[in-house]
Chain A
Amino acid sequence: MSLLEIDGVSAYYIHNSSETKAVDEVNFSVENNEIFGIAGESGCGKSTLVKAIYGFIEPPLYLKKGKIIYNFKDSKISSPITSKNISSSWWEKISYIPQGSMNVLNPVRRIKKFFRNLWKSHSLDLSYEKYNDLLINHLQYLGLSPHILEYYPHQLSGGMKQRVVIAAASLFHPELIVADEPTSALDVGVQLDVLNLLLRIQNEYKNTIIIVAHDMAVMANFCSKVAVMYAGNIVEISETKELFKNPLHPYTKLLIDSLPKIGDKRELKAIPGSPPDLTSPPSGCKFHPRCPFSMEICEKESPFLKEIASGHKVACHLMER
């Protein structure tokens, strides 16, 4: 049984008269002990999808269709966990590192207070002393000095703040960590440190990580499986190596090819055009206005995600020939 099953999920933002179809008919599952990457340009629904996965569905966002099923190993709750009751498992079974999360720390409270609040609101059957020991051990394991608990957020660098948030997210050893762009605001050297930290947590606790990033380099280096999103749909899903060696969807190809690399002296071409407005997305395949191989059928019918090789799924009419 997969840890996470996402079954025909559509999540829309509702406005006065229109809907933004940020996530549209998305199907996939995430296995245990896997690092799952979600890639794509900004404005293609990545963040909305992970919000839905975390169960953080608040107006104007709402779940139009489909359901998300969580199969945690030793859940205290007997009934099946879906997006309705997932909030009781927050932090303990599933934790979320939101975008720009280094700014979530309260600037006028010490880091200690932040962790104390975490203990309070989760009414753990743990005394504060024991919790404190657990916390200090955990911080030391992650290579953070316990002194930082006495600091205010402004005394820490961006990378340190990000590490504090990651430490909080992994404190109760959740089975699933959802990280939304954890490295995009960081410096080059620090980016590597933060990814290394996440990898160590994964290695130690054997949990599952879902990571969202627009940077294909992060995907290549960090994930075992990658889903590429475009305009609310998943257009390609595959093992990382297979995806980079043999990208099948034209969008994935362009996404990988448009990156400058050190040592590569080619002229690069950017992907033409820009992502569509999701209140009124194009008909058929949503990528067809920008696609170099666009055919007649692409304008009319939207392609379905089909398994081409084992574990490699693509949604493109080109594959059906």
Chain B
Amino acid sequence: MGNNEGIIIKNVTKIFSQRVLFSKKKFKAVENVSLHITKNPPEIFSLVGESGSGKSTLANILLQLIEPDSGEILLNGKKINHFETAEFMKKIQPIFQDPFDSFDPMKKTELFIYETIKNFNISKKREAINSIIDQYLKKVGLNYQMIKDKYPHEFSGGQLQRIAIARALVVQPWFLVADEPVSMLDASLRTSIVNLFKQLKEEENLSVLYITHDLSTAYYISDRIGVMLRGNLVEIGNAKEILDEPLHPYTQFLKKSVLEPDPDKKKIPLSETEKEEVKMTVISEYQLEGCKYANRCPVAKKICKEKTPEYYSVKGRKVKCFLYEKSEKKNNDEMPLFYR
């Protein structure tokens, strides 16, 4: 649609190598991933998947912490490595998993925001800075009096995560990249943080890339969702539709393993019969030819182990699975299918 706004990720691949005895094994932590996260209107895009599926690698590539081996990322039509560092960081801000790790335990908490304001030359006067700190803390439901002269250990994880979000906001970014922002937090605090993301999207027009393995919060806040499997995005589309009725066998597996807070829907099977499971290490699954899920997939066919499936569009989403090969008419466009 010729819409340049937002983040466009084009065919990004990152290869890591791991030494095993005397040999070196290479695997693609992110394999040919393309994605478009819109800015106007803002959206919350969730990346879900097991640990070791390349979600964080993709986030780190986006934040320019890792350089991709191939492919490119455009931010509003400009390649991200053409930006100056400060300019780039004003556009995209990260929020990390462990709030206790994001803060220096020996420094007062307010200094964390103070330094960001100084570094980005937002203001120079002490009083002006304090009022800016207060202004942004109010956006996340805190205020300056609450954090003044306190050290990080005096806060709970949820409060620290809010302060980390306030810090990310002071540069008025367009995007937040939130890598597992709630997985260290209590279930009851999670809701308050994800509600904050929703509110920021509506009030500050902020787009968020939300990375998580928790499907229920992803369902709750996201507009679109991408399911990652060993470096590949295997299903992309509307979050509610995908999780209400997952199509890819891997997404179905993920949904099946979510426990629900309802004792009438017991999910833990008491299997007496020993099922012979194909336990594969992460790295050997990365090196599979064809579909990476083929060895665990209950409906795998011969073709799955030989060829990598393409994206097929089914019900308005893209699914990378041979099951849906026939249900769509081949799209011959050069453009990858999932650009909207």
Which residues in A have some Cβ–Cβ distance to B below 8 Å?
41-43, 143, 157-158, 187-189, 191-192, 195-196, 199-200, 203, 214-222, 240-241, 244, 254-256, 258-265, 268-271, 274-275
A218 to B187, CA, bound (A): 11
B269-309 CB contact bits vs A (8 Å, 1 = yes)?
A: 11110100100011000000000000000000000000000
By beta carbon, the residue of chain B nearest A254 is B188
Partner of A196, one of B271, B277, B281, B282: B271
A41, A221, A260: which contacts B267 (Cβ < 8 A)?
A: A221
Rounded to whole angstroms, the CA-CA distance of A43 and B336 in the bound complex is 49
Q: Are B244 and A216 in contact (CB under 8 A)?
A: no
- Contact bitstring B66-100, A, C-beta under 8 A = 1, else 0: 00000000000000000000000000000000000
Q: Please indicate the chain B residues that have their CB under 8 angstroms from the CB of A263 in the complex.
A: 219, 243-244
User: What's the minimum C-beta distance from A108 to chain B, rounded to whole angstroms?
Assistant: 18
Scoring B158, B265, B268, B270 by chain A CB atoms within 10 A of each residue's CB, the highest score goes to B268
Q: Which of A216, A265, A270, A274 contacts B156 (CB 8 A)?
A: A274
Closest residue of chain B to A202 (Cβ to Cβ) is: B270
Q: Least Cβ distance of A168 to chain B in Å?
A: 20
Least CB distance from A184 to B in Å reads 9
- Chain B nearest CB from A209 CB (Å) reads 13
Asked whether, in the complex, the Cβ of A258 is within 8 Å of the Cβ of B188, the reply is: yes
Q: How far is the CA of A189 from the CA of B53 in the complex (A)?
A: 13
Q: How far is the CB of A111 from chain B (nearest CB, A)?
A: 16
Question: Is B258 within 8 A of A262, CB to CB?
Answer: yes
Neighbour of B263 across the interface among A157, A220, A260, A262, CB < 8 A: A220
The stretch of B104-112, B122-130, B210-218, B319-327 that contacts the partner chain: B210-218
Q: Are B156 and A43 in contact (CB under 8 A)?
A: yes
Contact A218 B220, beta carbon cutoff 8 Å? no
Chain A residues, CB < 8 A from B240? 265
Closest to B48 in A: A188
**Chain B positions 29 through 73: 1 when the CB is less than 8 Å from some CB of chain A, otherwise 0:** 000000000000000000000110000000000000000000000
Query: A6 to chain B: closest CB distance in Å?
Result: 24
Given known A216-B187, A262-B216, contact A240–B263 (CB-CB < 8 A): yes
CB distance from B199 to the nearest CB of A (A): 11
B239 to chain A, nearest CB (A): 10
